[in-house]
């Protein structure tokens, strides 16, 4: 309820309200005329009744972001994801400073993202942008900001990055596969890890969490994941990640042989990411394939299946995506290449048909 009083030559308006948790708060403003005071009070009451919290709107966005992680993310995501969100807190503090939620505008948010993109690669900027937008969306829903200031914000980057193909071409895939089968029984455990990643498309954490009971003869059950961030076995990335991946006969035989040679319940030690990457570089060099990151083996698996005409719906389920839209988004560049090949094939067929009529 608004209260308007005259103080000397000025008019002062007070609005008392109750927050969502029962706390009593009030805001005030000073105006030259009674009419201005009433108009301000009327507008503020409408906003407050609609859920807007003027006191929360005063806190710096960087401070709200930390609260947002604890309130909305910690109860719902893995600890490794929380670590990722926390790494963005410093960046948000640097590019937004002490800017309060109430002072943010689409232009201010976009300029902050653009500033970040001047010194960071596009992919990194995209990750930060999506996090900023998610937190501001919740601030809007909670009534801490008055309007949508985030939807139009785009990730941009002026930092040039070298082109890097993080997947193997079909001939490289086959060459690496042949090399691994020829050496896996007389080499270290890394050869088996790389072969299993290449043939299943499983994520590194999913493979490192595998235990003997997860191997069922012709398949592996993915039901957990090892996180190097927290040094512990955790739940998989999401519900869709829980799946059974069928194995080729050759892969099943190698895995069965390996399990008989080792008494450990865990199929693989929990190596560090750097140790695994160093050994992958060594193996790829031995197999005469260009260097990729370990996650590139997953991309190579998808690429090779697409290259050989495997249905994208099956591929999506095999790699643990919740729907084909995610697969299409992640592998759009590969699908575009396949589309071009199919286009040439279609035109050749039509050209031959025309010549025979």
Domain with CATH 1.10.443.10 in the chain: 170-341
Asked if residue 200 lies in contact with residue 241, where contact means CB atoms within 8 angstroms, the answer is no
| 25-80 pLDDT, tens digit each | 676 778 888 888 877 677 766 566 555 666 677 889 999 999 999 988 988 888 87
357 pLDDT higher than 60: no
The model's pLDDT over 219-236, given as tens digits with 9 standing for 90+, comes to 999 999 999 888 899 888
Long-range contacts of 187-194 (CB under 8 A, 24+ apart): 188/279, 189/268, 189/269, 190/276, 190/279, 190/280, 190/283, 191/283, 192/254, 192/255, 192/258, 192/268, 193/268, 193/276, 194/280, 194/283, 194/297
- Give me the percent of the chain exceeding a pLDDT of 90: 49
All CATH 1.10.150.130 domain ranges in the chain, comma separated: 61-141
| 191-210 average pLDDT score | 96
Cβ neighbors of 263 (< 8 A, separation 6 or more) are none
Tokens of 270: 């929990």
> Which is nearest to 299 in space by CA: 340, 274, 334, 250?
334
Mean of the pLDDT values across residues 307-330?
84
Please state which CATH number belongs to domain 61-141. 1.10.150.130
| pLDDT for res 76 | 84
* Mean pLDDT value across residues 138-143: 85
Q: What pLDDT was estimated at residue 19?
A: 56
pLDDT-derived band at 346 (thresholds 50, 70, 90) equals confident
- pLDDT for the residue 334: 61
Residues in a beta bridge with 222:
243
Whether residue 312 contacts residue 323, with contact meaning beta carbons closer than 8 Å, is answered with no
Q: Which CATH superfamily is domain 170-341 in?
A: Intergrase catalytic core (1.10.443.10)
pLDDT for residue 355: 64
- Which of 122-126, 298-302, 343-347 is the least confident region? 343-347
233-271 pLDDT per residue, tens: 988 888 889 999 999 999 999 999 999 998 899 999 999
Q: Is pLDDT at 20 greater than 60 in this prediction?
A: no
Taking alpha carbons only, the member of 112, 122, 117, 110 closest to residue 153 is: 110
Mean pLDDT of 326-352: 69
Q: Percent of the chain scored above 70 by pLDDT?
A: 87
pLDDT, residue 271, reads 95
Residues 4, 38 contacting (CB under 8 angstroms):
yes
């Amino acid at each position: 309820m608004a209260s308007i009083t005259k103080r000397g030559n000025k008019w002062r308006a007070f609005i008392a309200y109750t927050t969502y948790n029962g706390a009593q708060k009030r805001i005030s403003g000073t105006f030259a005329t009674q009419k201005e005071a009433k108009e301000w009070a009327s507008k503020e009451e409408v906003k407050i009744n609609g859920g807007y919290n003027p006191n929360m709107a005063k806190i710096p966005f960087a401070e709200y972001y930390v609260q947002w992680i604890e309130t909305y993310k910690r109860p719902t995501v893995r600890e490794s994801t929380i670590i990722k969100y926390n790494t963005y807190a410093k960046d948000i503090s640097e590019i937004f400073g002490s800017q309060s939620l109430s002072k943010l505008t689409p232009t201010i948010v976009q300029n902050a993202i653009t500033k970040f993109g001047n010194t960071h690669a596009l992919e990194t900027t995209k990750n930060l942008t999506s996090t900023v937008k998610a937190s501001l969306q919740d601030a809007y829903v909670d009534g801490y900001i008055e309007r949508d200031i985030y939807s139009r914000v785009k990730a941009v980057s002026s930092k040039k990055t070298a082109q890097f193909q993080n997947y193997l071409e079909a001939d490289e895939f086959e060459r690496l596969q042949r090399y691994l089968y020829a050496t896996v029984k007389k080499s270290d455990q890394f050869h088996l890890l790389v072969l299993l990643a290449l043939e299943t498309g499983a994520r590194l954490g999913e493979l490192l969490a595998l235990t003997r009971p997860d191997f069922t003869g012709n398949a592996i059950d993915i039901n957990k994941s090892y996180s190097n961030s927290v040094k512990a076995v955790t739940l998989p990335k999401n519900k869709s990640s829980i799946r059974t991946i069928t194995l080729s006969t050759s892969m099943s035989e190698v895995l069965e042989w390996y399990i008989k040679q080792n008494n450990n319940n865990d199929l693989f030690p929990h190596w560090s990411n750097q140790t695994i990457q160093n050994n992958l570089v060594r193996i790829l060099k031995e197999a005469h394939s260009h260097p990729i990151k370990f996650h590139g083996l997953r991309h190579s698996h998808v690429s090779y299946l697409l290259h050989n005409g495997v249905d994208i719906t099956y591929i999506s389920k095999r790699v643990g995506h919740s729907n084909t839209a995610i697969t299409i988004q992640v592998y759009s560049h590969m699908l575009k290449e396949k589309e071009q090949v199919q286009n040439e094939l279609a035109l050749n067929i039509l050209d031959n048909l025309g010549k025979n009529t």
